[in-house]
A and B are shown apart, each in its own frame.
Chain A
């Protein structure tokens, strides 16, 4: 075998090699740190889901699948079910989306396409400020101002038009001819403003800033030449928006909508004040109800034993609901991607 020969290496080379080694090591350490940051998120998510599942295991064991389909919430006799809170959570969030998405779209459109440039700055900052208002403020506003307004102006009109027990006593043509519509607009408390619809409306106001600022950001990324070309071909503003801007930004817009939906699903204090907090199953949007987060906020402080476990189980179900919603969002995006042939 050869005897090893040590080649003469210049000191400059040596220094360079040392620096390279040091850089490589630093890169590796940096990579680990970044990985740890990302894993921390994953770990806290899994930890939170697992600990709520663990805390709720008593309730799941006791009630089995019946926990999902029961509308009971009876701490006195230890009977609990998640049906009403889960439905309240989903329905209020959907109402919020139905109101917030078109309005946010309009805001974003106005700010990026139509508004004079001196107006864009102030309105954008105002929207971002709205996003920073704590939810308890929306809750107090909902309780003191908005709920009475709904009771006085919105609810009577809705009940006169859509319910079979209208305050003015005249059952409308619509109700007489569409059999099931009255079910969605009945109310045990016609003079009471709080309820599912009111909560949905307050939530809508809370999530508009989120959805509209995402939309505004992504609308600005549309290349000017695309829009200019469309205008040059004689498109109206609406046609440019609908056929150029929206298709270009579709996935980001849907992402923004689901960001708002996520917030609406988990919102606690505002909903607790304007939802009425009852556990009666009803399809009506004018009736009172409960949501998962508001039930937990209401009862956790004083809960013991099986009730505490049922609240933990509810928290776990909120994870499940949010997960399903995100899954749907992913699937929708993939579907859209396929259709575009990307």
Chain B
């Protein structure tokens, strides 16, 4: 096209005028708000190193997927994996980039962070509205040695559609048949009980304000706001505390090898130390790039981030992907993406 070639000449002229060594490329992405903090931290460091900037809009996973389908951005990011048919139809590929944990948080007088123990079934029954008091025999039985007051439970959930809700409800439907058949899982569901707070911030505020409440937030919000989180029993029957180690264990023990296009939701991971509500975000890109130079920079950015971004991820309470998974992703890139 005439205009684009003119533009290119103009940029080359401008670049030579200013004596730039390499031409900087701005890549654009949109989607999940869950990865936004870590993406912006990575991209700031990456831009310092290479001059290539990342422009990311955290508009929500649904909008990110819609935009990459229309081809208006270089990559989309979604908290839910895309189905194989959809990937095939649009010629897209996807891979996970970072891992984070979702924790149940409670507000019960006299109970400190990490003391309360809950298993999946009990958590589901609370969210189904079947367990309505903290001294319910099921909760008491799990917490021998802890005095739990008799107090009405108030359930708090997210009011906005979110990846946090997606992974939380996905976990509940894996551990409770009733949840799986009645409520199902998704970024927003019809909550059988409780009130809805907007965003992680809304949920953590509601939980702090309502005595006897239980909610779920991203791990970083629980630690930053000093809200009491609970232990969970994982798929192997062990009690685990939420922390970087148990999130990493979930990522390492999840069965990535046999999942096509990394289409695997990590909740209820099998490992002995795995935190059961661990989540990831997928980056979605065209297998045959619409803009090859942008795609090249995007891959370079994600390669750099996956290999060197662990520390920055950890400082924001995310967990970097385990090395074996990074290797697998890089293999997937060279096998599936044509550049």
Contact residues of A with B, CB < 8 Å?
A: 72-77, 79, 143-144, 147-148, 151, 189, 191-194, 272-273, 276-279, 288, 290, 294, 297-304, 307
In the complex the two chains form, is A74's CB within 8 Å of B195's CB? Answer: no
Find chain B residues with CB under 8 A from A79 CB: 190
In the complex the two chains form, is B198's CB within 8 Å of A272's CB? Answer: yes
In the complex the two chains form, is A299's CB within 8 Å of B160's CB? Answer: yes
In the complex the two chains form, is A301's CB within 8 Å of B160's CB? Answer: yes
**Centre residue among B59, B154, B160 by max chain A CB count within 10 A:** B160
Find chain A residues with CB under 8 A from B59 CB: 301
A-B contact pairs, 29 of them (CB 8 A): A73-B190, A74-B189, A75-B161, A75-B186, A75-B189, A75-B190, A76-B189, A79-B190, A143-B205, A144-B205, A192-B206, A192-B209, A273-B198, A277-B159, A277-B196, A277-B197, A279-B190, A290-B159, A294-B159, A298-B198, A300-B161, A301-B60, A301-B61, A301-B62, A302-B61, A302-B62, A302-B161, A302-B187, A303-B188
Find chain B residues with CB under 8 A from A300 CB: 161
CB distance from B262 to the nearest CB of A (A): 20
Find chain B residues with CB under 8 A from A74 CB: 189-190
In the complex the two chains form, is B185's CB within 8 Å of A76's CB? Answer: yes
B228 CB-CB contact with A under 8 Å: no
In the complex the two chains form, is A298's CB within 8 Å of B212's CB? Answer: no
How many A-B residue contacts, CB cutoff 8 Å?
A: 94
**Centre residue among B191, B194, B198, B212 by max chain A CB count within 10 A:** B198
Interface of chain A, helix or strand or loop or mixed?
mixed
CB distance from B59 to the nearest CB of A (A): 6
**Complex Cα gap A298–B206 (Å):** 16
B210 CB-CB contact with A under 8 Å: yes
CB distance from B164 to the nearest CB of A (A): 11
B94 CB-CB contact with A under 8 Å: no
**Centre residue among B154, B185, B197, B202 by max chain A CB count within 10 A:** B202
Q: Which residues from 177 to 228 on chain B have a C-beta closer than 8 Å to any C-beta of chain A?
A: 183-191, 194-198, 202, 205-206, 209-212
Interface of chain B, helix or strand or loop or mixed?
loop
Interface residues on B, range: 20 to 34
B63 CB-CB contact with A under 8 Å: yes
Find chain A residues with CB under 8 A from B185 CB: 76
Which of B60, B159, B209 touches A193 (beta carbons < 8 Å)?
Answer: B209
Contact residues of B with A, CB < 8 Å?
A: 59-63, 154, 159-162, 183-191, 194-198, 202, 205-206, 209-212
CB distance from B149 to the nearest CB of A (A): 14
**B59 nearest CB neighbor, chain A only:** A301
In the complex the two chains form, is A302's CB within 8 Å of B60's CB? Answer: yes
Find chain A residues with CB under 8 A from B61 CB: 301-302
Find chain B residues with CB under 8 A from A194 CB: 195, 206
**Known pairs A191-B212, A192-B206, A278-B195; A298 contacts B187 (CB<8 A):** no
In the complex the two chains form, is A301's CB within 8 Å of B161's CB? Answer: yes
In the complex the two chains form, is B195's CB within 8 Å of A288's CB? Answer: yes
Find chain B residues with CB under 8 A from A148 CB: 209
Find chain A residues with CB under 8 A from B62 CB: 301-304
**Complex Cα gap A144–B208 (Å):** 10
Find chain A residues with CB under 8 A from B195 CB: 189, 192, 194, 276-278, 288
**Known pairs A191-B210, A272-B198; A302 contacts B184 (CB<8 A):** no
In the complex the two chains form, is A76's CB within 8 Å of B190's CB? Answer: yes
Find chain A residues with CB under 8 A from B196 CB: 276-278, 288, 298
**Complex Cα gap A276–B203 (Å):** 10
Find chain A residues with CB under 8 A from B154 CB: 189, 191-192
Find chain B residues with CB under 8 A from A304 CB: 62
**Complex Cα gap A69–B253 (Å):** 48
Find chain A residues with CB under 8 A from B188 CB: 75, 298-299, 302-303, 307
**B211 nearest CB neighbor, chain A only:** A191
**Centre residue among B63, B162, B190 by max chain A CB count within 10 A:** B190
Find chain B residues with CB under 8 A from A77 CB: 184, 190
**Complex Cα gap A41–B184 (Å):** 44
**Centre residue among A147, A192, A297, A307 by max chain B CB count within 10 A:** A192
Instruction: Given contact pairs A143-B202, A189-B154, enumerate 19 new A-B contacts (beta carbons under 8 Å).
Output: A73-B190, A74-B190, A75-B186, A77-B184, A147-B209, A151-B210, A192-B209, A276-B195, A276-B196, A277-B196, A278-B194, A278-B196, A290-B159, A294-B159, A298-B159, A299-B188, A302-B60, A302-B187, A303-B62
